[in-house]
Structure 1
Amino acid sequence: MLVLGIVRGYGRAHGYRIGNDLLSWGADEWANVKWGSIYHALHTLTERGLLRDHNEVAGRTEYELTERGEAEYMKLLREALRRPQPRPDFLGAALAMLPSLPRAEAIALLRQRLEALEEQREKAQAQVDALVDPPHVRELFGLWESQAAGGAEWTRGLIARLEGGAYPMAGEPGSPGKPGSWESLKFPPYPPR
């Protein structure tokens, strides 16, 4: 999703630009992104017909999203917002690409996420309450309950911020959510830390 999203944002992008942006966001830490994995992803996505490569400049391949790539990107983005996952990189990627969605759709997907997190919290609490042996396993269920409760609280906050007009979303003035709209954005050079 991240690679597709960055290519989409620029309209056309080369591997170094994609990697530079991802690493400037710290994706090497929260999504285990490495330079080699970026080029592997570009090759694989091109083979799958999700990206189209352009070799107009010697030694530099630029990539562009295909219609299939746009559909896959939006599917991945929606799923990452809607469904809580054990791995935080899915949500991190979705947040990095959040403006690709219209405000109302993003809020609706986050409400589905909130409902799922509240169900997870209730299930974990029931497991804590029902467990007798071994008693230390209650800590595992307690951890799950705490994580779901924290995720639900954060999700409620993001919904409130979006409802309050935070962040320009797709279709709104100044939104970086339109394909090819990132040329004017100024990302810090790698590494920003």
Structure 2
Amino acid sequence: MSATRLLVLGVVRMHGRAHGYLVRSELLSWGADEWAHIKFGSIYHALRQLAKDGLLKSTDIPDWPGRVDYEIAPPGDEEFFRLLRDALRQGNNRPDMLGAALVLLPALSRKEAIGLLRERIASLSAEQSELIAKVDETAGERPQRAHIRELLGLWEHGAASQAAWTEALIERLEAGAYVMAGEEKGA
């Protein structure tokens, strides 16, 4: 899965119609160049590739040589939601994918977002249980390898921390935080 792909589809979808500079400006305003490691050229490459794959429709602007506007195509909308849902429900995904999903979270209904985040907690709990079992398995290993348990412990602690954070996000969503898809601002 690619965070760049999800983010570019999300920005084009959000604006309805967008050109490369607009997509880049939006992503920079979110700090995505830092947390998702998106480079200037990768945005334009993603736009062209998504259009080639039929996920975006491209339109050359005759009055502005070199400018291409993009709109999301129905398959692009499907891909956007597939990537977004997968990034939210998986506990072991990369931080850039989770970050991309979080900035695009309002594209989902409140109910669906909460359901996907509950799946994430279940995934993280399973991961945590597996890691605890591995730590226990390594307890009797040779003393020169005992320090490997620290790495497993770090991963287990990370899974527990992410699960607690996700539970807090669910609580905020249940309390009405953020304007989600299908809701009116200020409602």
TM-score if structure 2 supplies the norm length? Answer: 0.90
- In the alignment, which of 75, 79, 85 is matched to residue 86 of structure 2? 79
Q: Is 1:109 matched up with 2:116?
A: yes
The one of 38, 41, 54 aligned to 2:43 = 38
Identity of counterpart residues, as a percentage?
Answer: 53
Q: Report the counterpart of residue 28 of structure 2 in structure 1.
A: 23
Report how many aligned residue pairs link the two structures. 175
Q: Mind listing any 5+ residue stretches in structure 2 that lack a counterpart?
A: 1-5
Structure-2 residue corresponding to 1:54:
59
Q: Which amino acid aligns with 1:58?
A: W
Using CA pairs under 8 Å that are at least 6 residues apart, name the structure with larger relative contact order, 1 or 2: 1
User: 1:71-127 CA distances to partner (integer Å, 9 max, x unpaired)?
Assistant: 000000000001123410110000010010000000000000001101111111111
TM-score, scaled to structure 1: 0.88
Q: Which of the pair has more CA radius of gyration? A: 2
Q: Is the 8 A contact 2:127 2:159 kept in 1?
A: yes
Which of structure 1's runs of 4+ aligned residues deviate more than 3 A?
Answer: none
2:8 is aligned with what amino acid?
Answer: V
| Alignment-mate amino acid for residue 34 of structure 1 | K
Q: Secondary structure at the match of 1:151?
A: helix
SS in 1 for 2:147: helix
Post-superposition offset of 1:47: 0.2
- Mind listing any 5+ residue stretches in structure 1 that lack a counterpart? 176-193
Matches within 5 A, 1:1-193: 1-56=6-61, 57-59=63-65, 60-131=67-138, 132-133=140-141, 134-174=145-185
Work out whether residues 10 and 80 of structure 2, in 8 Å CA contact, stay in contact via their aligned partners in 1: yes
> Aligned letter for 2:58?
D
